[in-house]
Each structure stands twice: as structure tokens, then as C-alpha cells.
Amino acid sequence: MRSILLVLSLLTACSSRSEQLAALKQLRSATAEWALVNAQAVRQHLPAAYVDGMRQAARKQIRQAARSLDDPHSDAARRAAALQALPPDAPSDLLSREATALKMTEDQLESA
Amino acid sequence: MNPLELTLGIMTAVGGFVDISELVFAAQAGSSFHYALIWVFAFATVGMMVLGEMSGRVAAIAKQPVFNLMRHRLGLKLGLVTLLASLVSNLITCAAEVGGIAIILHLLTGAGYRLMAVASVVVLIATIWVLPFKWIERAYGLLGLFMIVFAIALVKIDPPWTEIAKGFVPQVPHGLSDKELVTFAYFTVAIISAVLFPYEAYFYSSGAIEEEWGRKDILTNRVTCTVGFALGSLLAISILANAAQLFGPAHIDPQLPGSAALEVALPLGRTGLLLALLGMLFAVAGAAVETCLANAYSVAQFFGWAWGRHKKPWEAPRFTIAWIVLMLVALGIVLAGVDPMKLVEYAILFSILVLPLTYLPLLLLARDRHFMRDHRNGLLANLLGWAFFVVILIAAVAAIPLFILTSGGQT
């Protein structure tokens, strides 16, 4: 019985860690995508409908990922909250820096 | 041979290779593993050429589309199971394609997603109703060729071509963690599934019968499969390679079909972006038509109804009702708010499970002397066909565990 409980708790821990990684990955990727869209919107004069649609999609993914993060006080959760407070046309440099920071957090969690 | 005769293969391949799932999977594969998954596309493409050629040849010589064979070769019970599984798989895929069209139209026009889903289904139904089969394949096949802009973008960014060439050699990248290895395996299985989608075989073989192929069309079939599927594969590999160059270094794992268009916007600007979106629109719309008709073909052929777009809609009433209802159900799934990208994941999973049952009866009939006479499989076709069948079986067995272990490739 004890061994079954041990296996179950290990599986639960693995599953939770996996979900956190997936949420972090989504958060990082959506942020990086938002940064790229904003950079190109200025540089290439991309059509407004495309830019607005991609920004909406990226921000929706950030909201979804933020809801999946377990610890509201974690570094990732704080960054997610800050990202959600940014305007759609936030500077691409800022968004790129956030994506890089999130990538580091993701790598740490993956190697832990 | 008239080059326009190739359009069945081009529509099947462009709709099959660069549909909504491929737009996401190819870009994610490139972003996550650079060029290391190119060989899987190339390998699966050869498989699709072999099995596609077989399905076209069987349709031309034995006048048997794939689902007729299934019922006779697998028996009623197993045939019915295959029919139900492929209906679910094709319906999910069709819904994903409709959702994809709505997303692309939303990005092109700014109009609401649900409104665009309804509008696109109205247009798709109207085109299938009004246009003869030949013009359906020509319209979607040729307009889907806008996707060539992805290959042009790749040439423009001038990637390391030797690295891309090395990607064609079967490999597992060095230095991957256990988790990354499992994800790599998942992508391998998912790409095989996406390239060999069963609806391509149903559509292609039924299309051959729609076009009344016979012995004289054996060469057309061979060229169509080779050129059409090679072109589809080239486009998919271009999407992958662009993503490896542009998205990987920016830490982007593209989750949306709209992201793929950015690959073209970066080197080719606003015009490139618009061409990419239009190409994606027509390719995905072609895939929606293929999946919808493939489903109606399957049901009609299984139950022995009159079928085909070479007939007037009222001359094949149950077939006509089937494709309209199936398209409306796909729209219903989209309007219910199911995320098209989630649908893509499930479509890939369901498809790989249906694949062995799709291709087994085909392989059996293609080597049958009684039906195929002097056009039965030769040694090479048999060898390749059965080898790919074994690969499909292994992929089908591995699909569910890999899907669970990687949360559908998300971790």
C-alpha cells in the first residue's frame, strides 16, 4: 500500500512539474512571438488586422499560461502579471528581455 | 500529358502536407530541433508517394476506391470500426481546418473569428456544390501554390544549406535530455501521421474514379503522386527550415497558424506576408474540402450509395447530404469554442490509429493478380509498401504513450 502511495505521489509530482513546464514554455513563446510581431509591425508596416490579431492571440496565450502557474508568488507568475498589464503595442525590446528571462527560468526548472 | 492533370495530386498534397496541422507542426519542429526532423518529412513523403500511387493505380485498374476495399477485405465488423474511426479522425481534422480558415481570415480582415468560420463554410459548401470536381481540384490546388512564397523566403534568408542537406540524413540529435528525446520521438510520429493522413488516400483514390482514370492514366498517376507530394513536402520543409532560422533563436515555439506567415514577413515584408496568408488560406481551405469529401466518400462507398461530384448533387442525394451535414458538424465544433490547435493534436493522434487499417486492404489488393493483372505491385512496390506499413504500425503503437508523456508535444 505504502509503495503504491509513493508511486502515486511521484507521478503526481511529475505531472505537476510537467504542467508547470508546459505553462512556462507557452508563456515564454507567446511573449517572444509578441515581441517579434511588434518589432516587425514597425519595421515592415505589417497590415493592422494581422498585427492586432497576432497581438490578441499572444496576449490570450499569456493569460492562459498565467492561470496554469501554481505559485502566484513565483518569478514567472510575477512576470506574467506584468506582461498582462502591458499595452498591445509594448516595446519589442522589453518583451524580448522578458522572453529571455522566462527562458532562463524554464531551463532552471527543466534541469532541476 | 496535360500539366493541368497534375492538379489532383497538387491539391491532395498541398491540402495534405501544408494543412493547418503541418503549418503548426513543421514550424514547431524547426523551432525546437532545427533541421533534425527534415528526414522524417522526406521519409514519410516517400511513403505517401508509394501508397498514394498504389491507391491511384488500384482506382484506375480495379475501379475500387479505398473504402470499398476496406469493407471487402476487412469484413463488415472491422470495416465498420475503421469507418467510424476514420469518420471521427476526418471530422476533427475538418473542424481544425475550418477553425484555421477562420483564424487566417480574421488575420487578413480583422473580422470576428466566429463570423469568418460561418462565412468560410458557406463559401466551401457553395464551391463544392457549384464547381465540377475538376474545377474544385484546380481552384484549390493551383491557388494553394501561393505557398511557394515560403520556399522563396527560405532562399532569401540564405540559410546554411549544408546543414539543411544534412537534415535529410536519418538522425537523432546528440545531447538531448531524456525529455527532449521523448518530444523528438513524438514529433517524429506526429509528422509521419500528418504526412500520411488517411483522408489523402480516400480523397486521391476517389478523385481518380471521379476523373474516370483507366489504364491510360497509370503514368499520370505516377507523375501526379511524385510531383504533387514532392511539392507538398518541399513546402513543409521550407516552413520547417524558415522556423529553424528565424523562430528558434528568438525562443518562439509557434502555436498559431498565423505565426508561420511571420516567417515570410521577416525576409519579404508586407507583400510576402499577404501572399503567405493567401497561400495558407487556400491550402487550408483545400484541406477542409478534402477532409469533408473524404468523409462523405467513405460513408457512401461503405454503404454502397451513389456518390461523386461528377454527378449532379440530386443524382447522389445521400452523398450530397452527407458532405453538407459533415461540413456543418465541423462548423458546429468550431462555433462551440473548441480551440482549433487542440483539434489538430487530436486529429494527428486519431489519424495515426486509423492509418494501418486504411493501408492494409490497399496493400493486399495492389498485389492481387486477379484484380490488378499486369498492373499489380512489382517487387519494389511490395517491398516499400510493406516496409512503410511496418513503420506505420510502430508509429500507431507509440502514438498514445508519446502523446501522454509529452502532453501533445507541449513539454
- pLDDT score of A4 more than 80: no
* Percent of chain A topping pLDDT 70: 86
Helices and strands in chain B: count of H runs, count of E runs:
16, 0
Nearest to B252 among A18, A33, A110 (CB): A33
Nearest to A29 among B179, B251, B265 (CB): B251
d(CA B21, CA B134): 26
Burial readout B224-250 (b: 16 or more C-beta within 10 A, e: otherwise): bbbbbbbbbbbbbbbbbbbbbbbbeeb
**Interface-testing mutation among A29, A38, A109, with chain B (most B C-beta atoms within 10 A):** A29
Closest among B264, B225, B193, B185 to B19, alpha carbons compared: B193
At residue B10, the pLDDT reads 74
Q: In whole angstroms, how far apart are CA B305 and each of B68, B298, B301, B386?
A: 11, 10, 6, 31
* Closest alpha carbon within chain B to A15: B405
* Percent of chain B topping pLDDT 90: 56
Q: In whole angstroms, how far apart are CA B361 and each of B50, B78, B82?
A: 15, 11, 11
Contacts of residue B411 in chain A, CB cutoff 8 Å?
A: 18, 21-22, 25
At residue A16, the pLDDT reads 67
At residue A109, the pLDDT reads 84
Q: Which domain holds residue B107?
A: 3-405
At residue B5, the pLDDT reads 66
CA dihedral over B108, B27, B275, B122, signed as positive or negative? negative
B411: in domain: no
d(CA B317, CA B24): 36
At residue A96, the pLDDT reads 95
At residue B99, the pLDDT reads 95
Reported ipTM: the value is: 0.87
Contact B110 A52 (CB under 8 A): yes
Confidence of residue B241 (pLDDT cuts 50, 70, 90): very high
Instruction: Read off the pLDDT of each residue in B109-133 and give the average, rounded to a whole number.
Output: 95
Contacts of residue B258 in chain A, CB cutoff 8 Å?
A: 50, 53-54, 57
Q: Which domain holds residue A52?
A: 2-111
Give pLDDT tens digits for B328-342: 999 999 999 998 888
Instruction: Read off the pLDDT of each residue in B268-295 and give the average, rounded to a whole number.
Output: 93
d(CA A108, CA A112): 6
Nearest to A32 among B252, B269, B270 (CB): B252
d(CA A87, CA A27): 17
At residue B15, the pLDDT reads 64
Kindly state the DSSP code that residue B177 receives in the 8-state scheme.
Answer: -
When mean pLDDT is compared across A1-15, A34-48, B132-146, B393-407, the lowest value belongs to A1-15
Q: Please state the pTM of the whole predicted model.
A: 0.91
* Residue A57 near chain B (CB below 8 Å): yes
Give pLDDT tens digits for B71-92: 777 788 888 888 888 899 899 9
Instruction: Read off the pLDDT of each residue in B359-363 and give the average, rounded to a whole number.
Output: 88
Burial-class residue B125 by CB neighbours within 10 Å (0-12, 13-18, 19+).
Answer: middle
Confidence of residue A9 (pLDDT cuts 50, 70, 90): low
Instruction: Read off the pLDDT of each residue in B125-148 and give the average, rounded to a whole number.
Output: 88
When mean pLDDT is compared across B36-50, B61-75, B83-97, B298-312, the lowest value belongs to B61-75
* A45, amino acid identity: H
Closest among B104, B125, B153 to B283, alpha carbons compared: B104
- pLDDT score of A6 more than 60: no
Minimal CA separation from A100 to chain B, in Å: 8
B410: in domain: no
At residue B252, the pLDDT reads 92
d(CA B46, CA B295): 25
Instruction: Read off the pLDDT of each residue in A11-34 and give the average, rounded to a whole number.
Output: 81
- Residue B233 exposure: Cα atoms within 13 Å on the Cβ side: 24
At residue B327, the pLDDT reads 96
At residue B211, the pLDDT reads 85
Mean pLDDT of chain A: 86
* Closest alpha carbon within chain B to A18: B411
* Closest alpha carbon within chain A to B252: A29
- Contact status, residue B136 vs residue B289, Cβ threshold 8 Å: yes
Number of domains observed in the structure of chain A: 1
* Residue A22 near chain B (CB below 8 Å): yes
Give pLDDT tens digits for A90-104: 999 999 999 999 999
DSSP H helices, B158-251, are 161-166, 178-195, 198-210, 218-246
- pLDDT score of A8 more than 60: no
Torsion angle (degrees, nearest 10) of CA B191, A60, B123, B139 = -40
Instruction: Read off the pLDDT of each residue in A7-27 and give the average, rounded to a whole number.
Output: 71
Contact B106 A53 (CB under 8 A): yes
When mean pLDDT is compared across B70-74, B224-228, B343-347, B402-406, the lowest value belongs to B70-74
Give pLDDT tens digits for A59-94: 999 999 999 888 888 888 999 999 999 999 999 999
Burial readout B322-339 (b: 16 or more C-beta within 10 A, e: otherwise): bbbebbeebbebbbeebe
* B240, amino acid identity: L
When mean pLDDT is compared across B46-60, B120-134, B199-213, the lowest value belongs to B199-213
Q: Which three cell numbers stand for residue B70?
A: 476496406
Torsion angle (degrees, nearest 10) of CA B341, B344, B350, B353 = -120
d(CA B364, CA B362): 5
B227: in domain: yes
Q: Which residue has the higher pLDDT, B5 or B20?
A: B20
B148: in domain: yes
B56: in domain: yes
* Residue A99 near chain B (CB below 8 Å): yes
At residue A77, the pLDDT reads 92
* Closest alpha carbon within chain B to A97: B250
Number of domains observed in the structure of chain B: 1
- pLDDT score of B289 more than 80: yes
Burial-class residue A15 by CB neighbours within 10 Å (0-12, 13-18, 19+).
Answer: exposed
Burial-class residue A73 by CB neighbours within 10 Å (0-12, 13-18, 19+).
Answer: exposed
Contacts of residue A32 in chain B, CB cutoff 8 Å?
A: 250-252
Q: Which three cell numbers stand for residue A111?
A: 534541469
d(CA B235, CA B148): 7
d(CA A63, CA A83): 9
Nearest to A46 among B179, B251, B270 (CB): B270
B258: in domain: yes
CA dihedral over A44, A45, A48, A49, signed as positive or negative? negative
At residue B368, the pLDDT reads 87
Confidence of residue B128 (pLDDT cuts 50, 70, 90): very high
Q: Which residues of B touch A (CB under 8 A)?
A: 103, 106-110, 177, 179, 250-256, 258-259, 261-262, 265-266, 269-270, 273-274, 277, 407, 410-411
Contacts of residue A59 in chain B, CB cutoff 8 Å?
A: none
Mean pLDDT of chain B: 90
* CATH number of the domain residue B9 falls in: 1.20.1740.10
